[in-house]
Structure 1
Amino acid sequence: MYQYDTFDHALVRDRVAQFRGQVARRLSGELSEEEFRPLRLMNGLYLQLHAYMLRVAVPYGTLSAAQMRKLAHIARRYDRGFGHFTTRQNIQYNWPKLEDVPDILNELAEVEMHAIQTSGNCIRNTTSDPFGGRAADEVDDARIWCEMIRQWSTLHPEFSFLPRKFKIAVSAAETDRAAIRVHDIGLRLYRNEAGALGFEVMVGGGLGRTPMVAKTIREFLPAEQLLSYLEAILRVYNQEGRRDNKYKARIKILVHESSPEVIREKVEAEWQAIRDEALDLPAEEIARIRAFFAPPDYPQRSDKPAALAEARGKNPAFDRWVAANVSPHKVPGYAIVTISLKPVGGPPGDATDAQMEAVADLSERYGFGEIRVTHEQNLVLPDVAQEDLHALWQALGKHGLATANVNQVSDIIACPGLDYCALANARSIPVAQEITRRFADESRSAEIGELKIKISGCINACGHHHVGDIGILGVEKSGEEFYQITLGGRPDAQAAIGTITGRAFAYDEVVGAVERIVDTYMSLRNEGEIFRDTLTRLGHDPFKEALYAADQ
């Protein structure tokens, strides 16, 4: 993984010192909350419903064991003993005291971490495939290119005050595990017919109150020209994006109102105008960054060891965990393990300080000390020998981290909702918790198969409900919480926005409504069909009938 150079260290330390002075002025009353607001947001500090919240950057979701231990320490010393992993592959602390935040940032700097550009109208944390560098179906490690974007975009003077926040995602694999089509810019790295490495560039995706799927404006961009082309896109957006209405300020609105063809023409014209001065990546710089992501020296291990097959045959619970949580690795004898942060009855994405320390220890015992954060609010150990899977599963179980449900009905994405967020209209976490209890039986969950539920507590869609197989949106009606259900969303290569089923359900009705959808699917599916295939084959009518039969 990338390691800071002298410039990085100085930049982060200077920012900590600056913010320490700003916090002191706020605490003394020299700065009002309104004056302090833009300063704290530039350092990842929000004021939520009950307290401040600090969002810490985890660039492209990659952590070392030492960094994870530091996150655990911060949760224990400065918060309430847990952290919340987010859909931008970051971590949030929900209860820090304002006077402690400079000390937290200083401790983060000790392990090459910070909170810069985790808030504000700037380029946010670039997200990526959590299996990057290890996936059997990739053409390159997408994180290499994310790191180049990070270095280029951090405190970029032209893009520090954009019309609105800006999100970029990069994928380099056949399977899109980064949801690139629902980002402001989505980048798909691939090799063309000549074998050259380059990007399909997609612009104008996003969720929120106006969900849209990104449109391709360039089929193939040579990889070394990435940053100059991104600069052209951002310049067009910065000049022409709306600033009169924050709800219409995202680049997706500009693309929609102008048309993808017009945006393509403007970006290409801007790109040609700046090419002589903009940065094209030199081969030696690409090689320098690539060296930080060189794979470890893998000892030879048995591919599909007999002991693994034996353990799976003897233990149905372990077999379900392997089937759900273990993915193919490009190196024979190894596997990629996703650690679910969605236990029965638990808040999705939360990990205690003890669990974070356990994951750090296990990443060293059964890997090379590296951990990944997924945009689906789970963790990943990217380098586990297949022969160690059973021992790892047992160790995870001791810490409540062996839930076998990845990509299944209880592997729910949920925003903090009305339990924390001042923008929310309804609670998300209790609904997610109750759904996991309703589908707590791992055998039943495995039988249901792949089915993704996503929950947002307001129209801002931080829980990505628009792209869930089943999406749940919390709304407020006359002071009460109701939940609107959508079906048929997906964030992958066939990205689609879900369709609203009908009237919203009251808080005490919504979990039952979800179960009726699942039961209907189970009664109508063909052998081998996952939920989205059944929905595509039959349409929405059977599910609407099951949901609203009593209304007829």
Structure 2
Amino acid sequence: MYQYSDFDAAFVASRNSQFRQQVERRIDGSLTEDEFRPLRLMNGLYLQLHAYMLRVAIPYGTLSSTQLRQLAYVAQKWDRGYGHFTTRQNMQFNWPKLSDVPDILDALAKVQLHAIQTSGNTIRNVTADHFAGAAADEIADPRPVAELIRQWSTDHPEFQFLPRKFKIAITGSPNDRAVTKAHDIGLRMVEQNGEPGFEVIVGGGLGRTPMIGKVVRDFLPRADLLPYLEAIVSVWNLLGRRDNKFKSRIKITVHEHGIDDIRARVEERFETLKPAFNGVDQDILAGIEAQFAPPEFRVGPTDLYDAAYANDPVFRSWADTNLAAHRAEGYAIVQVSLKKQGETPGDASTEQMRLLADLAERYGHDELRISHEQNVILPHVHKSDLPAIHAELKAQRLATANIGLISDIIACPGMDYCTLATARSIPIAQEIATRFDELKLEHDIGALKIKISGCINACGHHHVGHIGILGLDRAGVENYQITLGGDHTETAALGDRTGRGFAADEVIPAIERLIHAYLDLRDDRAETFLDAYRRLGADPFKAALYPEKQESRANAA
């Protein structure tokens, strides 16, 4: 893992000291809320429905046990005993007092965490594949490059007042687990003639105008990455609209100018910028890479795992669902679900965070990852340790075997917390998960991604859910639109809107009809919901959602 340099530590300490003074001036009335707003946003502090909310960056989703314990400490001392992991690999504290925020930031700085650029019109926290450094299909660990981008973008003098926020995601695998095509810039590592480089995607994004990103470069050598990124952001910084915030994201700029025009401008700017970098960025990258050396994987028998898998059906179900292939023999990637049926997706209590930190320290080479799907990953676990880990997870209600299943729902905080939300997300997610647990259908249904947003800003990624649910306000009443066929992977697609929305008490029956239709329509158990939708099209699924239309047509006939 990357360790702060003296410069990093001094920089964060200086920012925290500066913000402490700004908070004091807000409290004593020297600053109005309007004056304070841009200052707090530069430091990750929002004003939500009930309280301030502090968003803490977890760079490229990587944490040590020490850092996770400190997040638990913050949750216990200054919040309400839990934290919320977001779809951008951050942690949010929903109840801090303004007067405590400077102390929280100082506590985070002690373990090399911060909240800088987790909000505002800047380049936000760089996100990455949550299996980075461990995945069996990985070309190379993308985190050193993500760290280089973090250093380049933090307090970049040209990019602190962009037309709007800007988000970058990176994956080191051809299988996209980082939603790269729904970001302002997406980077997918590819190889050309044995040389690793990047497919560069621009103009993706969700929100009120969802768009899948377009490829601006099929192959970019790693050595050219930073000047090329600077070229993209600087071109958009000049072209991007500032007259209308709803049309200011780079996706709109790409749409209005066309990808060919944007590509030509970027390439021209890149040729101008490239000599100025003069290889300095590659020297910095080489130093960063040394800090991401893989752990010393141990070699040993897996008898304990094999015995537990053969004899314990509960363990076997968890292993089949929550483990992923590791690149080292005898190891597995452990996905810990924060989606126990009926609980809030993405929330982790102080006790749960401390347990996960202990497990990472004892069994996981002291590394954790946070996924954009709001779960926690132990990336390097020897299979012989898995039965012990499973037993400890069960004690803290963290052994739910549902990764990738219908109850592993992405949900934004919705109207329970957010000032922008127009409907609740959390109760809908809880009710769906509880209902299908009651029906005992989850494992029969198989792989299925449900994503829920409480407003058109789409923090719950509903546009790219196999089933997407968008909560809206209709004349003061919560109403939920359903989309089908979305996909966040390398075959990314936006979901198709199905028809009229549903009242809150109609959502669960509608989803139940939809799932039963899928189970009847699929070719066999191997055909996923998404595969069935792509094969059959929308009509049979719409018929299940809106049976009244079929009845009306039958009566008319």
Which residues of structure 2 form unaligned runs of 5+? Answer: 553-557
Partner of 1:393: 390
SS of the equivalent of 1:208 reads: coil
**Contact 2:174 / 2:189 at 8 angstroms: preserved in 1?**
no
Partner of 1:493: 490
**Alpha-carbon distance in structure 1 between the residues aligned to 2:382 and 2:512:** 37
AA of the residue aligned to 1:87:
T
Deviation at 1:283, TM superposition (A): 4.6
Partner of 1:67: 67
**Alpha-carbon distance in structure 2 between the residues aligned to 1:301 and 1:505:** 54
When normalised by structure 1's length, the TM-score is 0.98
The yes-or-no answer on 1:91 pairing with 2:91 is yes
2:356 alignment partner, one of 353, 356, 359: 359
Partner of 1:39: 39
Deviation at 1:112, TM superposition (A): 0.5
Deviation at 1:296, TM superposition (A): 0.8
Structure 1 residues 368-405: Cα deviation after superposition (integer angstroms, max 9, x where no partner): 11110000000000111111111111110000100111
Deviation at 1:311, TM superposition (A): 1.6
- Where do 1:214-363 residues align within 5 Å? 214-278=213-277, 280=279, 283-302=282-301, 305-363=302-360
The yes-or-no answer on 1:137 pairing with 2:137 is yes
The yes-or-no answer on 1:446 pairing with 2:431 is no
- Where do 1:358-437 residues align within 5 Å? 358-437=355-434
**Contact 1:206 / 1:213 at 8 angstroms: preserved in 2?**
yes
Deviation at 1:207, TM superposition (A): 0.1
**Alpha-carbon distance in structure 2 between the residues aligned to 1:441 and 1:317:** 17
Deviation at 1:444, TM superposition (A): 2.3
AA of the residue aligned to 1:52:
Y
Structure 1 residues 184-233: Cα deviation after superposition (integer angstroms, max 9, x where no partner): 000011211x2111111100000000000000011111101110000000
AA of the residue aligned to 1:196:
E
AA of the residue aligned to 1:50:
H
**Alpha-carbon distance in structure 2 between the residues aligned to 1:325 and 1:180:** 23
Partner of 2:154: 154
Partner of 1:481: 478
**Contact 1:227 / 1:280 at 8 angstroms: preserved in 2?**
no
Deviation at 1:279, TM superposition (A): 5.5
**Alpha-carbon distance in structure 2 between the residues aligned to 1:104 and 1:205:** 34
SS of the equivalent of 1:276 reads: helix
Deviation at 1:127, TM superposition (A): 0.4
**Contact 1:224 / 1:281 at 8 angstroms: preserved in 2?**
no
When normalised by structure 2's length, the TM-score is 0.97
**Alpha-carbon distance in structure 1 between the residues aligned to 2:335 and 2:125:** 21
Deviation at 1:441, TM superposition (A): 5.4
AA of the residue aligned to 2:269:
E
**Alpha-carbon distance in structure 1 between the residues aligned to 2:67 and 2:269:** 40
1:468 alignment partner, one of 465, 470, 488: 465
AA of the residue aligned to 1:550:
E
**Contact 1:412 / 1:432 at 8 angstroms: preserved in 2?**
yes
Structure 1 residues 336-369: Cα deviation after superposition (integer angstroms, max 9, x where no partner): 0000000111110000011000100011121111
Deviation at 1:282, TM superposition (A): 5.3
**Contact 1:490 / 1:497 at 8 angstroms: preserved in 2?**
yes
1:549 alignment partner, one of 539, 542, 547: 547
**Alpha-carbon distance in structure 1 between the residues aligned to 2:367 and 2:285:** 22
Is 127-136 or 275-284 further displaced after alignment?
A: 275-284
Q: 1:338 to 1:281 in 2, by over 3 A?
A: farther
Structure 1 residues 434-459: Cα deviation after superposition (integer angstroms, max 9, x where no partner): 01101225952111110000000000
The yes-or-no answer on 1:535 pairing with 2:533 is yes
**Contact 1:226 / 1:280 at 8 angstroms: preserved in 2?**
no
Partner of 1:204: 203
SS of the equivalent of 1:54 reads: strand
State the Cα RMSD in Å. 1.1
SS of the equivalent of 1:120 reads: coil
Q: 1:477 to 1:279 in 2, by over 3 A?
A: farther
AA of the residue aligned to 1:290:
E
**Contact 2:199 / 2:215 at 8 angstroms: preserved in 1?**
yes
**Contact 1:405 / 1:442 at 8 angstroms: preserved in 2?**
no
Deviation at 1:312, TM superposition (A): 2.0
The yes-or-no answer on 1:520 pairing with 2:553 is no
**Alpha-carbon distance in structure 2 between the residues aligned to 1:49 and 1:278:** 45
**Alpha-carbon distance in structure 1 between the residues aligned to 2:327 and 2:366:** 18
List structure 1 segments (4+ residues) > 3 angstroms apart after TM superposition: 278-284
Structure 1 residues 236-288: Cα deviation after superposition (integer angstroms, max 9, x where no partner): 00000000001100000000011111100010011112222246455543321
**Alpha-carbon distance in structure 2 between the residues aligned to 1:344 and 1:299:** 35
**Contact 2:84 / 2:348 at 8 angstroms: preserved in 1?**
yes
Which residues of structure 1 form unaligned runs of 5+? Answer: none
SS of the equivalent of 2:441 reads: helix
Deviation at 1:526, TM superposition (A): 1.1
Structure 1 residues 494-548: Cα deviation after superposition (integer angstroms, max 9, x where no partner): 1000001110000101111111111111111111101111111111111111111
**Contact 1:404 / 1:442 at 8 angstroms: preserved in 2?**
no
SS of the equivalent of 2:211 reads: coil
Q: 1:493 to 1:11 in 2, by over 3 A?
A: same
**Alpha-carbon distance in structure 2 between the residues aligned to 1:233 and 1:512:** 46
Structure 1 residues 465-497: Cα deviation after superposition (integer angstroms, max 9, x where no partner): 000000000011110001000000001111000
Partner of 2:181: 181
The count of corresponding residues between Structure 1 and Structure 2 is 549
**Contact 1:40 / 1:46 at 8 angstroms: preserved in 2?**
yes
AA of the residue aligned to 1:91:
M
Partner of 2:555: none
**Contact 2:129 / 2:177 at 8 angstroms: preserved in 1?**
yes
Is 397-406 or 272-281 further displaced after alignment?
A: 272-281
**Alpha-carbon distance in structure 2 between the residues aligned to 1:74 and 1:282:** 35
SS of the equivalent of 1:136 reads: coil
Is 312-321 or 397-406 further displaced after alignment?
A: 312-321
**Contact 2:368 / 2:376 at 8 angstroms: preserved in 1?**
yes
Deviation at 1:52, TM superposition (A): 0.3
SS of the equivalent of 2:123 reads: coil
Q: 1:23 to 1:282 in 2, by over 3 A?
A: closer
**Alpha-carbon distance in structure 1 between the residues aligned to 2:87 and 2:278:** 30
